[in-house]
Structure 1
């Protein structure tokens, strides 16, 4: 069965990618597989960092709850119209997405992520990794215009630059 795989985090960009993935799944008559990757707190069970044995289970529970929230928010108004499977995967987002979309007939959708140089330095691009390592076609969804404007407003607030409300209506 063909699948459309999309990674989500709950950001505006990932919700936009989720909606695009649902549209692609309807067109292709494919299953929509929504992936949320989770990483356990530093260390693993049995390590010397002092984590309780229940830390990985708590992390997984939080990831499942987060995935439910994202799907509820994204499809509150209208259902996706395709078979949908939610999946929480332990590991990095980029590896989880490439491993999930391993069939050549699959389609992998990812958000383009931040284009800010500092953020790219601190957090490697999931989209670039998927483009380089996926065995299937990859569709990178650009950020929404609203997301770009919100970023501008946040930067202006951070630097305490006055905002003229007329600039928002252009």
Structure 2
């Protein structure tokens, strides 16, 4: 079972989960959890099924995008792949899907965080199965500085082969 939100950490977790599924000849279950942007309490006061359907569809698109970014589709060599889009808290949703002691939960973590943040800590206290935390790949500091200074023109220039930070309208 893999938490696949689409973050860098979750993409690394998705790859690690596919590897574990491949080695064990098991099914890969990718889970993305969603909740209304204004929270469940506000949604309960003013429910709107059409908005809920849109948010669920967006969560499903994010899950498909995660598979495309991690593997270019379904991972090779995995016997079965199941995608689950669940409404609710991510930790609770993952525990709901991974309810047996012989399951394995795989979650991603930001670089420098060993326990997978809030969701990873919650899972360590509540999951009935082992939890594997996979760190996101660390980006070099120079890349992060470039991304902070990037403008929309830089991304258009990148497609044309111009280095970031050196767009057509910016001095070298």
Report the TM-score range of the alignment, normalised by the length of the smaller protein. Answer: 0.7 to 0.9
What is the TM-score with the length of structure 2 in the denominator? 0.72
> 1:143/1:46 Cα in 2 relative to 1: closer, same or farther (>3 Å)?
closer
* Closer, same or farther: CA 80–129 of 1 in aligned 2, 3 Å: farther
Q: State the Cα distance separating 1:113 from its structure 2 match.
A: 3.1
Tell me, in whole angstroms, the C-alpha distance in 1 between the residues paired with 2:87 and 2:33.
6
Residue of structure 2 in register with 1:106 after alignment = 103
SS of the aligned residue for 1:67 comes to helix
Q: Deviations over 1:145-167 (max 9, x none)?
A: xx342x664357659xxxxxxxx
Q: 3-state DSSP class of the match of 1:106?
A: coil
The gaps in structure 1 that reach 5 residues or longer are 160-170
Which of 53, 58, 62 is matched with 1:57 structurally?
Answer: 53
Q: Distance between the aligned counterparts of 2:135 and 2:142, measured in 1?
A: 16
Q: Secondary structure at the match of 2:31?
A: strand
Question: If the length of structure 1 is used for normalisation, what is the TM-score?
Answer: 0.73
Matched, 1:154 2:156: no
Q: What do residues 80-129 of structure 1 show as CA deviations (whole Å, max 9, x unaligned)?
A: 3211001111012111111111111100001123657xxx9xxx521111
Secondary structure of the residue aligned to 2:45 is coil
Pick one of 122, 132, 140 that aligns with 2:133.
140
Distance 2:44 2:127 in 1: 33
In the alignment, the residues of structure 2 paired with residue 152 and residue 141 of structure 1 have an alpha-carbon distance, to the nearest angstrom, of 23
- Equivalent position of 2:45 in the other structure: 47
Mapped to 2, the partners of 1:57 and 1:112 lie a distance apart of: 29
93 and 43 in structure 1: CA distance in 2 versus 1, 3 angstrom threshold: closer
Kindly tell me: are residues 131 and 91 of structure 1, through their superposed partners in 2, closer, same or farther at Cα, counting changes over 3 Å?
same
Secondary structure at 1:81 match in 2: coil
Q: Conserved in 2, the CA contact under 8 Å of 1:113 and 1:127?
A: no
Change (3 A) 1:157 1:31: closer
Structure 2: 5+ residue runs without aligned partners? 150-172
Match of 2:92 in 1: 95
Contact kept in structure 1, 2:67 and 2:73, CA below 8 Å: no
